Structure 1
Amino acid sequence: MSRDPALEAFCAFFNKLDKTYTDQLGSVYTDDIVFQDPLHRIEGLSELERYFAALYTHVEECQFAFHQRQRQGDTAFVTWTMTLRHPRLSGGKAYEVEGCSRLTFAPFSAGSDEGIQKVQHHRDYFDAGELLYERLPGLGWVIRQLKRRAGA
């Protein structure tokens, strides 16, 4: 199975992304990007750049291991494991979160010489508790206890 160039470019970009690279989001996203995850909905490239710049300010490590990738037409799905290290979460230790992204690529305009298709809609699916709430001092213990009881 051959790899999709636009999807591979997207995955490669996210492993370069850090606080010094957020101004390069326009290389993979359209100007009218809609980004959504369990915590936020962002519309427009300039808003997304501000969001990622703030998000990555204190991040010490953020890497993605991309797993399954599927694309049909302009819609793609990719599963991933994110390794994150932030001084205020999980005692500053690295931890992993599993997730999936649904991407919609913008069609090429007539006569376009843009090269790689850009993402026009990006939605992430992951457990917000696992990413954030369980990692906070005090609150994390409460969330983990609630999850254990719900699963019992």
Structure 2
Amino acid sequence: MTASSAGVSAEAIAHFRSLFQPLTHDGLTALAECYSDDVEFTDPLHHHVGRRAVMAYYRELMAEVSHCHFDFHQQHTQAERCFLEWTMHYAHPKVRSGRTLSVAGCSHLTWHDQRVCRHRDYYDVGEMLYEQLPLIGWAVRRIKQRL
């Protein structure tokens, strides 16, 4: 039985998770090694195909935020698929005066040969971004209250 048919190893997942505690510019080289060359990354705001594109996204993200780290709460693994439930804590100098904000989310990872080949993040963009902006935030929060 090959590594890919046996599913993802606990060690590969633990290593991947560790690189987000915190997510730093210095850790991006190690993070790149966790992804396959043809990885497909999707979140509510972005879609990138290929390791180079995904890592360019992470570099851009790290240039913008003051800090970013993830607390992982639940992990469910079956064969080559893994679901990670998390809370992201981040600070951006232009959002809420650089205060640390938190947003809950989940990552669906598909692994092949102990590397992530698909990474899909689910989270509330309103909670993460829109609700944090002046004027727009007030309107989004008001709409959510009425629903």
- 1:18-69 deviation digits (Å, cap 9, x = unpaired): 2333343322111111000011110001111111111111211111000111
Does the Cα contact within 8 Å between 2:70 and 2:87 map onto a contact in 1? yes
Percent identity over paired residues: 40
Task: Give the structure 2 partner of residue 105 of structure 1.
Answer: 111
- 1:76-95 deviation digits (Å, cap 9, x = unpaired): 00100111111111221111
Does the Cα contact within 8 Å between 1:25 and 1:45 map onto a contact in 2? no
State how 1:111-150 maps to structure 2 within 5 Å. 117-150=114-147
Tell me which amino acid in the other structure corresponds to 1:148: Q
Deviates more, 1:71-80 or 1:23-32: 23-32
Does the Cα contact within 8 Å between 1:88 and 1:136 map onto a contact in 2? no
| Structure-2-length-normalised TM-score | 0.89
> Structure 2: which 5+ residue stretches go unaligned?
1-8
**Which of 29, 35, 45 in structure 1 is aligned with 2:35?**
29
**Which of 84, 88, 108 in structure 2 is aligned with 1:82?**
88
| Structure-1-length-normalised TM-score | 0.86
> Structure 1: which 5+ residue stretches go unaligned?
109-116
Q: 1:24 to 1:4 in 2, by over 3 A?
A: closer
What's the Cα RMSD here? 1.4
